[in-house]
Structure 1
């Protein structure tokens, strides 16, 4: 049972938003669950969900509790949006040099109910990005083809179809897990700088979690989607992590590869991992990882 690792390592995607128009055909992806819709574009994760409440102070207070928003948190109306709304920003220091900014919009949608749209950043928030996607979500103008099917038979990996069968599942947008065969997440970017920032921030966030220790860290020559490049290989020790996650994984160490590289017409950030008790091929990787990367010997 490995499904919880993505909550620790893979669930967090990080990046500065490119100011150029996004390409719906490849760079924006989404997953629609029964209660929440998750999105990813240029490495930025955001989500939306709707509550069947009227946009009133009483209703909003109920919802604030669900998002850990306190009475003392500043709530402002964004007058530039064509919807009745309240905006809340909360910050969390990850390290001295890395801060997570959480931007929440509580919006009276076209059905007169409340839609909450969340954006998470590890840099200064982009108001233009937020407003663009709020408008698209509320007006339901995001193309249907960017939504992935919840049932996995194959995945679109940055423009290449990879057949995986029915033993794998999504744990987030562009995050796939195959029990005992590895896990990976990726984002498609407009430039290499944002891709490199994404994998570096994922590494920083993981190594700064309590109970996790870096055993080793090295640069490794690999072939990623047919291109010779370098990956950061890190082995994490989870034996000191006293949580449900460590207990359910069954593993004691996690090997992770971080890669940022040009793939076809875009740039990809990719984080791939496997536990010490996963299935490992003769070439030293879990089967899922070998779908996109090989070690260069």
Structure 2
């Protein structure tokens, strides 16, 4: 896919491509490419549709865009049409969805979708859309669906067989724990990320928050505070095949020049009391 467009950042909104791409994780699948970068989840897809009201109607239905939302023009991408939708997740958190449509020939539309629960960073959005269109995202950001290891703030952690990607920057090792993370250029965004994730979890209807406290942990060699939640899923244990109680840690730390927002979780039957399962132990320990 090669599309040509003009792109200009607003004055003062310089973007360091090396920094951004070092914070990015991409996975290519058949028909879709996924990314995670600084709190944004991003996808790229292609659809058979005309670049007109009829085609837009088809796209709106596909991506659950309200019929009342009209496409707008982004001055950075004159050929594109953009849909912006919002969803209230909690009293504090509103999720933004930005859907870019680009014509590709007479009967095809390239869709680039960005989603975030953080305050929008429009300079980052435009930079990343431009990078997708110009095929300038380096191969180093991509991994295969087979997980041999994960890279956090520049450190590669080798994992054994059996782990898999739940999504970009989100890995699960059955019975050994799960973690998702984002890497940022500043600590405020990292804090905003974990605050949003913890607030969304606490408000979910699929379970009940049992306990919440703050504890000291060592995360990638740095002592910091973690918010710890004990969360009971409504799914019965007999269906789960084990415990339905999750222990979740929300952590922000400066690691090797990056600000990492990380959510680590495990079921309470996966460990001995006051310990961590193997995946979580790779990057974190509980302070004695």
Q: Which category describes the TM-score, using the shorter chain as reference length?
A: 0.7 to 0.9
Is the Cα contact below 8 Å between 2:214 and 2:228 reproduced in 1? yes
Query: SS state of the match for residue 73, structure 2?
Result: coil
Could you tell me which residue of structure 2 aligns to residue 113 of structure 1?
108
Deviates more, 1:70-79 or 1:104-113: 104-113
Deviates more, 1:50-59 or 1:146-155: 50-59
Alpha-carbon distance change, 78 to 112 in structure 1, aligned in 2, over 3 angstroms: farther
Is the Cα contact below 8 Å between 2:226 and 2:249 reproduced in 1? yes
Is the Cα contact below 8 Å between 1:91 and 1:102 reproduced in 2? yes
| TM-score, reference length from structure 1 | 0.84
Bigger relative contact order, structure 1 or 2 (CA pairs below 8 A, ≥6 apart): 1
Q: Distance in 2 between matches of 1:97 and 1:287?
A: 34
Question: How far 1:282 moved relative to its partner?
Answer: 7.0
Question: How far 1:206 moved relative to its partner?
Answer: 0.9
Q: Which runs of 5+ in 2 are unaligned?
A: 1-12
**Alignment coverage as a number of residue pairs:** 275
Question: How far 1:256 moved relative to its partner?
Answer: 0.3
Is the Cα contact below 8 Å between 1:217 and 1:233 reproduced in 2? yes
Deviates more, 1:284-293 or 1:123-132: 123-132
1:90-120 deviation line (CA, Å, top 9, x unaligned): 1111223321111111111479731111122
Please tell me the root mean square deviation across aligned C-alpha atoms, in Å. 2.4
Deviates more, 1:155-164 or 1:35-44: 35-44
Q: Distance in 2 between matches of 1:129 and 1:67?
A: 22
Q: Distance in 2 between matches of 1:113 and 1:49?
A: 11
Question: How far 1:186 moved relative to its partner?
Answer: 0.9
Which aligned pairs between 1:41-56 and structure 2 lie closer than 5 A? 41-56=37-52
Q: Distance in 1 between matches of 2:140 and 2:241?
A: 34
Q: Which runs of 5+ in 1 are unaligned?
A: 1-17
Question: How far 1:75 moved relative to its partner?
Answer: 1.8
1:164-210 deviation line (CA, Å, top 9, x unaligned): 12210011111000011110011111122111111111000111111
- 1:289 and 2:285 aligned: no
Which aligned pairs between 1:178-189 and structure 2 lie closer than 5 A? 178-189=173-184
Is the Cα contact below 8 Å between 1:107 and 1:114 reproduced in 2? yes
Query: SS state of the match for residue 120, structure 1?
Result: strand
Question: How far 1:123 moved relative to its partner?
Answer: 4.2
Is the Cα contact below 8 Å between 1:110 and 1:138 reproduced in 2? no
Q: Distance in 1 between matches of 2:42 and 2:30?
A: 16
Could you tell me which residue of structure 2 aligns to residue 169 of structure 1?
164
Deviates more, 1:47-56 or 1:187-196: 47-56
| TM-score, reference length from structure 2 | 0.87
1:114-156 deviation line (CA, Å, top 9, x unaligned): 1111122334433322222111112211111111121111111
Q: Distance in 2 between matches of 1:86 and 1:206?
A: 33
Alpha-carbon distance change, 37 to 250 in structure 1, aligned in 2, over 3 angstroms: farther
The structure with the greater share of residues assigned to strand is: 2
Is the Cα contact below 8 Å between 1:100 and 1:120 reproduced in 2? yes
Could you tell me which residue of structure 2 aligns to residue 34 of structure 1?
30
Could you tell me which residue of structure 2 aligns to residue 266 of structure 1?
258
Deviates more, 1:18-27 or 1:54-63: 18-27
Question: How far 1:212 moved relative to its partner?
Answer: 2.0
Deviates more, 1:252-261 or 1:54-63: 54-63
1:36-81 deviation line (CA, Å, top 9, x unaligned): 2121222222221112444243333222211112332222222431
- 1:73 and 2:64 aligned: no
Alpha-carbon distance change, 109 to 124 in structure 1, aligned in 2, over 3 angstroms: farther
